[in-house]
Amino acid sequence: MPVTTDTSFVDRLAPSVAVMFRDRVASSGSSEAYRFPRGDTWESVTWTEAGQAVDALAAGLLSLGIEPEQRVGILSTTRYEWILADLAVMCAGGATTTVYPSTNAEDTAFILSDSECLVVFAEDDSQIAKLTERRADLPALTKVVTFDGTPDGDWVIGLDDLAELGRAHLAQHPTAVDDAIAAIQPDQLATLIYTSGTTGRPKGVRLRHKSWAYEGGAIEAQGILDERDLQFLWLPMAHSFGKVLLSAQLACGFATAIDGRVDKIVENLGVVRPTFMGAAPRIFEKAHARIVTMQAQEGGLKEKIFKQAFKVGLEVDRRKREGQSVPLPLRLQHGLFDKLVFSKVRERFGGRVRFFISGSAALNGEIAEWFHAAGILILEGYGLTENSAGATVNHPDRYKIGTVGPALPGAEVKIGEGDEVLVRGPHVMDGYHGLPDETAKALDADGWLHTGDKGSLDADGFLTITGRIKDLFKTSGGKYVAPSAIESKFKALCPYASQFMVFGNERNYCVALITLDPDAMAEWGAANGMEGKSYSEIVRSPQVRAMMGDYVEQLNARLNRWETIKKWEILDHDLTIESGELTPSLKVKRNVVEDNNKARIDALYAG
């Protein structure tokens, strides 16, 4: 039977994101809405100020001729202006087409052409250049609005120029934005988010206003967040995970500090001191590795205290989660280690974090337990772009590490044929844009979204994802292997690992390609007589080869015989978004990595 939670709040949802925003401005007007960096300082705006800015930009879009459901693109990194643009599009009755700023000119043109965008917000001159290069492929595109780029007085205008057009439009038509918002229906298209397709071309996922209203309402209904919270937001806003956190903000009323620079995350956490943050697992892996390797380099008594602290912390945490008592001597040790070690770990993240939310890929359970032992709760959730990002999530008062939690209130999850996870609810897309055959494959006649993920539900309704159906491969001996599970185990063992990619489809054994974290290896090199050496020289050294060999042996001891890694190689570079081997949400594009390293992989099977 599907697991269904309370649905009573669904009938009270706002009809659109635009109404959610207007309601929040009305109820929280003078409270802080957004905070963002300007040079070396952070600026703050209230809900009233954000509302005025959005109204002007929405009116500007109306003056450019945007009509209901017509698409407006956003081609930018995560920043305050991204959010203003997105809200303005929806308050004008249009629909946002999101584009990752790392997308090349050809794919950018395809997305904007396929979605028939009439207007595009482009961050700077580098993004404008992509549009200029492919202008012939974008006949519907009438205007580019730039945040930081150079206006040309015609095709490209500045954000302030759009706002000025809006103010002039409102002077002549005072109720223009009000009328546009009043006309929006719950089933009206709000967002087109493009996701990779099997043909190699991205597919546009059609998400409605009611989908985002539901996501925000479902989070509010659980009492997880409220106006006292402060979010730190760095996630790429072209991704549905970031978008669902914006919907949660409108529903719950907390403030959001925004800075999309990934290399500034830890620094910003110390400055902003948020109460929660959403992130991909790679961020937690890197933080864990950074802290562990720093302590290892300290050596001596400090390292011994650190290791003993986590040994005690993990034992106390395990006992508490299993409902067991904690003996007094263990409690006393834990109290001491909390002051000496765990409080310092928490302080690295600002010292006020109530919880983190992990999504977009599987989080290793051992890393989640490590953070929990230090007093930092990571709530893992699950969802796809096709269901507006959020399908399940753990709750601060009801969670199970290693699971992705129960279904959101008002949604359904069940396990179908072949252990496939199926999802149904108001958050599910109404289809792929212009692709009826692809839509029919993903959505069945009863409204269930077929996710392509394998999973299981326990007696309490908590979902565990066990792998991606397409990622499973079979060795030549007929044994099935789930590479992602093996990869996750290695990264929990090895604090220097950036990526660990397992291959072996139709082969007689498994092999792996390893990439190491550049920052961690630079520090390791400095501590091991290799200061000043290049990344390539360090990772290809006999010392590092021997160290990785030890970690692979530890991994193999935890695997079934047919899963063990017989041969492996360390790449002389890490994977990057720019190379096309990582998605902007930091997931590995396995097929791209395999294609790029075909000769290396074949060599591991030679002889």
Indicate whether 478 and 450 sit together in one domain. no
In a domain, 266, yes or no: no
Same domain, 206 and 98: yes
Q: Domain of 58: which CATH number? A: 3.40.50.980
Q: Assess whether 316 and 463 both reside in one domain.
A: yes
pLDDT, residue 607, reads 64
Answer yes or no: do 497 and 454 share one domain.
Answer: no
By the 8 A CB rule, do 192 and 71 touch?
yes
Which of 468, 486, 507 is where one domain is finished? 468
Q: Is the dihedral of CA 132, 137, 139, 140 positive or negative?
A: negative
Q: Are the C-beta atoms of residues 313 and 337 closer than 8 Å to each other?
A: yes
CB-hemisphere CA count at 13 Å for 549? 7
Q: CA 80, 82, 84, 90 torsion: positive or negative?
A: negative
- 318 and 460 within one domain: yes
Number of Cβ atoms within 10 Å of the Cβ of 494: 23
DSSP per-residue codes, 57-107 = HHHHHHHTT--TT-EEEEE--SSHHHHHHHHHHHHTT-EEEEE-TT--HHH
Do 77 and 69 meet the contact criterion of CB atoms below 8 Å apart?
Answer: no
Residue 161: enclosing H or E segment and its boundaries? helix 159-172
Picking from 424, 410, 391, the residue whose alpha carbon sits closest to that of residue 6 is 410
Written as one letter, the residue type at 341 is V
Q: Which residues contact 410 (CB under 8 A, 6 or more apart)?
A: 5, 6, 7, 9, 10, 214, 217, 218, 221, 425, 426
> How far apart (Å, rounded) are the C-alpha atoms in residues 434 and 170?
35
Q: Kindly state whether residues 64 and 143 are assigned to the same domain.
A: yes
Predicted confidence at residue 2, as pLDDT, reads 45
d(CA 8, CA 3): 16
Which ranges of the chain have pLDDT less than 70? 1-6, 196-200, 585, 607
Report the domain count for the chain.
Answer: 3
On whether residue 270 sits in a domain, the answer given is no
Residue whose token pair is 């302030």:
160
Closest CA to 111 of 119, 123, 103, 122: 103
Cβ neighbors of 16 (< 8 A, separation 6 or more) are 90, 181, 184, 185, 186, 188, 190, 209, 210, 213
Q: What is the 3-state secondary structure (H, E, C) of 436-481?
A: HHHHHHHECCCCCEEEEEEEEECCCCCEEEEEECCCCEECCCCCEE
CB of 449 closer than 8 Å to CB of 386: yes
> 564: domain CATH number?
3.30.300.30
Asked whether 430 and 438 are in contact (CB, 8 A), the reply is no
Task: For residue 86, tell me if it sits in a domain.
Answer: yes
Q: Tokens representing 20?
A: 């959610």
Residue 267 lies in a domain: no
Give yes or no: residues 487 and 439 share one domain.
no
The alpha carbons of the chain give a radius of gyration, in whole angstroms, of 25
Q: Is 564 exposed, middle or buried (0-12, 13-18, 19+ CB in 10 A)?
A: middle
Q: How far apart are CA 27 and CA 253, in angstroms?
A: 9
Does the residue 239 lie in any domain?
no
Q: Is residue 310 part of a domain?
A: yes
Packed helices 17-28 and 80-91: angle between N→C axes, nearest 10 degrees:
120
State the residue range of the domain holding 587.
473-605
Same domain membership, residue 303 and residue 187: no
Measuring CA to CA, which residue among 215, 167, 225 is closest to residue 190? Answer: 215
Last residue of a domain, one of 226, 252, 273: 226
Q: Is residue 409 part of a domain?
A: yes
199 and 51 together in one domain: yes
The DSSP code sequence of 353-407 is --EEEE-SSPPPHHHHHHHHHTT--EEEEE--GGGTS-SEE-BTTB--TTS--SB
SS3 state at 584: coil
Single out the residue in 204, 226, 248 at which a domain terminates.
Answer: 226
Residue 463 lies in a domain: yes
Same domain? For 195 and 286 the reply is no
Same-domain status, 122 and 201: yes
Whether residues 454 and 477 fall in one domain: no
- How far is CA 325 from each of CA 60, 315, 331, 377, rounded to the nearest angstrom? 63, 11, 10, 20
- Reading the block at residue 422, the tokens are 């199926």
Helix, strand or coil for residue 574? coil
